[in-house]
A and B are shown apart, each in its own frame.
Chain A
Amino acid sequence: MTSRRLAPYLFIAPFFALFLVFSLFPLVFSIYLSLQQWNPAEGLHTMHWVGLENYGYALTDPWFWDALYNTAWFALVAGVPQHLVALPLAFFIHRRFKRGRDLVVGAYFVPYITSSVAIALIFTTLYSKDYGLINAALAELTRIPFIGSPLASLTALKDGGGIDWLGDADVTRPAVAFVVFWRYLGWNLVLYLSGLQVIDKDLYEAATLDGATEWQQFWHVTLPLLKPMMFFAVTLTIIGNLQLFEEPFILVDGEKGVSSSVMTTAIFMYRTAFSDGDFGTASAMSWLMFVLIAALTWVNARLFGRDPRSRHGSR
């Protein structure tokens, strides 16, 4: 009888053991670490209590604010277009594609499931100043009348050669933002498509009978009913963009001075911990970001009319 009682606990124990070691412990340890000053190379015994000083230090560090600005910039420039394009695109695919829809959706989704390292390698080559396909294409376009002249003047501004996509502070951030947009567009497309599929077709038929145009159906039927999915998708985008790390980190070599123009808070945390050896401040920053993400998620919930305190998720 005792062994029968214990059995369920034994079966579920591996999960709890793994959860404790790899999830809960790092979480609690990072809170503890955020209240300490510690250079890891000197060993655990060199930790000393500083209270909230790391938080104050992070909040008064100019690079932290630069990184936060870059992060917000990416969230807006790479994040907002993801939804502005994915939503109508999903509607269009949903309404117009009967056959081959999965193929089209799959094509958009491929970047999302592709290794970020592979993507970075491809885009590093495409963006190459001297040998990249993008600059080569721009050079060809300069030969075309009317659009050639403005393009030529643009490339002339960039040292007479090609545009230094990953080495010029003016264009590096947009170049990285484009990769982020391209990568996550498919993800949002799939989210919106799944949301569209559960909307009752009768509503569209009724709207059609009432003489509503496709635009009116999108505006008055689709958008209101997609609100829960939009809330979900935008929340994921907010969280994802505030944690943005891989694309700017891999695309722009940290050895370049220009890398500071794409230094997100996640990259800054990484640098602070592993390059500067200041794990305490890095942990404090991660908790500051946690608070920021939580606050923005709350704002997002309010904007979409979903009070997180409501049991039913809507008012």
Chain B
Amino acid sequence: MPDLHLTRRSAARALLVAGAAAALPAAIPAAVAAAQVAPTRAPTSVLRVATFPDLDRAAIAAAPRWRALHPEVELKLLSMQYADHHLSMTTALATGSGLPDVMAIDLRYIGKFAGSGGFVDLNQAPFNASAHADDYVRYAMAQGVGPNGAQVAIPADIGPGTLIYRKDLLDKAGISEAEITRDWSSYLAAGERIRKTTGAYLMADAADLRDIALRQGLQDGEGLYFDAEGRVLVESARFRHAFELGRAARRAGLDARAIAWTNDWAAGFKQGRIATQMMGAWLVGQLRNWIAPQTAGLWRSAPLPGGVQAAYGGSFYAIPKKAANKTAAWDFIRLMTADAEVQLESLKVLDSFPAMRAVLRDPVMDEPIAFLGGQRARQLWRETAAHIPAIPVNRFDVLATTVIRDEFERVIARGKAITEALADARHLIERRARRR
């Protein structure tokens, strides 16, 4: 599932947020836009699924199938904007009221929610998710595991990382795909030639390079920011290297300084000012559907530079412990995540990459993609998905991301020394994480 642009809450008054949060869950059902799916005959129970755009489209598409399989259970979809959904789910978990039967969770929030203890361990009977573990892409299943080893969420779609690039710009600069994927120095050198020859920037923002480079070399079980004992890893060589690369890109003027999902970012793609973008495979669908449909045929997909295998985004479903209809909730999760037909439909309506392994062997994965000039890119993404390491999530991942982002800005914009920035980052993360 794409890492959608966050919708801003325009009038939050922070002086009362903490107290007001307690009152929020009661208001949630009235505030959300509810999409009700009427069953063919009178239902005897209701299944409440809290989700967010565009993941809700996959559930709406699967609704007829659910109705056929479970006419006795009315499916009620409660869809809120991305940030509002996760915020309201946080407050619902806090008070234990207003909780849905099934909760959709984006990868960004999975660490925070998985560590909350508010979800059913799906490895336990009657769900026995471990028996179905092989149904799903390995790394994605691992992302749904909480700190105590409980399987709290099941992946619905994944985002194998890829390098999307403008072939026409590379051709104009006389650069081959191999040059931008071989290693980081080759990638940056190619960027300088692209800039000189075409005027286009190599990437949207230097932070993109930092984010992907700090995932380089990770192995199964290794955390991104924290190790298994909760120690902060941001002073490692991995982070130093990532910061150095990001700084080098900025100093060389290779990034357009356009943050993802902003107007400048989208316009950069439309007008051919950005030559490459490292992101999840689902970006192709976003480019085709609304960002830059007029650039169809000009793009190609390649492995990430330097042999990095990384995940960008993904969506999960979980069952809150206080859910009223757990059996139907599990049936719904299985329908959305382990039904080949539904997964293929999601691929069709959302361009979301399936988390279900059997679907990855479907002939649709070998079909050419017109937007990518007929490239059979799904084969590449399938290969990437198979090699992405299973990295455990941590409840402080979001916090660490914020701190790293801030320190990186101090490095590239204010000239702060990388060693000092990373030491400060470690101190700030430890300080916050230690208390809780």
Contact = CB atoms under 8 A, between A and B. Distances in A.
Interface of A: 21-22, 25-30, 33-34, 37, 39-44, 57, 61-63, 115-117, 120, 124-125, 128-131, 159, 164, 167-169, 243, 245-246, 249-250, 253-258, 260, 265-267, 269-271, 273-280, 282-283, 286, 289-290
B430 to A, nearest CB: 13
A274 B116 CA distance: 14
Counting contact residues on chain B (CB < 8 A from A), the size range is 35 or more
Given A21-B23, A243-B14, 4 more contacts: A22-B23, A43-B95, A274-B90, A275-B398
B19 A243 contact: no
Nearest to B207: A257
Interface string B253-277: 1001111111110011000010000
Interface of A is mostly: helix
A62 B14 contact: no
Given A26-B16, A167-B259, A267-B14, A254 B6 contact: yes
Interface of B is mostly: helix
B405 A255 contact: yes
19 contacts: A25-B22, A26-B20, A30-B19, A33-B19, A40-B93, A41-B116, A41-B118, A43-B95, A44-B94, A117-B8, A117-B10, A125-B263, A128-B263, A255-B261, A273-B18, A274-B90, A275-B399, A276-B399, A277-B395
A275 B10 CA distance: 16
Contact of A115 (B10, B409, B435): B10
B192 to A, nearest CB: 15
B112 interface: yes
Given A26-B20, A246-B10, A260-B406, A276 B267 contact: no
Q: What are the 10 A-B residue pairs with the smallest beta carbon separation, nearest first?
A: A257-B409, A26-B19, A40-B94, A41-B116, A30-B19, A269-B14, A266-B14, A29-B19, A283-B18, A117-B10
A41 B399 contact: no
Given A40-B94, A41-B116, A277-B90, A286 B18 contact: yes
B436 interface: yes
Interface string B109-152: 00011011110000000000000000000000000000000000
Contacts of B23: 21-22, 25-26
Contacts of B431: 61
A23 to B, nearest CB: 9
Contact of A277 (B112, B264, B406): B112
Interface string B399-433: 10010011011101110000000000000100110
A40 B91 contact: yes
Contact of A256 (B90, B95, B259, B395): B259
Contacts of B30: none
A167 B258 CA distance: 8
A209 to B, nearest CB: 51
B435 A169 contact: no
B21 interface: yes
A30 B260 CA distance: 35
Interface of B: 6, 8, 10-23, 87, 90-91, 93-96, 112-113, 115-118, 207, 253, 256-264, 267-268, 273, 395, 398-399, 402, 405-406, 408-410, 412-414, 428, 431-432, 435-436
B409 A260 contact: yes
A248 to B, nearest CB: 11
B424 to A, nearest CB: 8
B147 to A, nearest CB: 12
Given A43-B96, A43-B118, A274-B90, A255 B18 contact: no
Contact of B90 (A41, A125, A282): A41
A40 B263 contact: no
A159 B405 contact: no
Contacts of B95: 43-44
Nearest to B91: A40
Given A43-B117, A168-B413, A266 B96 contact: no
Contacts of A120: 10
Contacts of B410: 257
Contacts of B93: 40-43
B359 to A, nearest CB: 31
Nearest to B433: A276
B260 A255 contact: yes
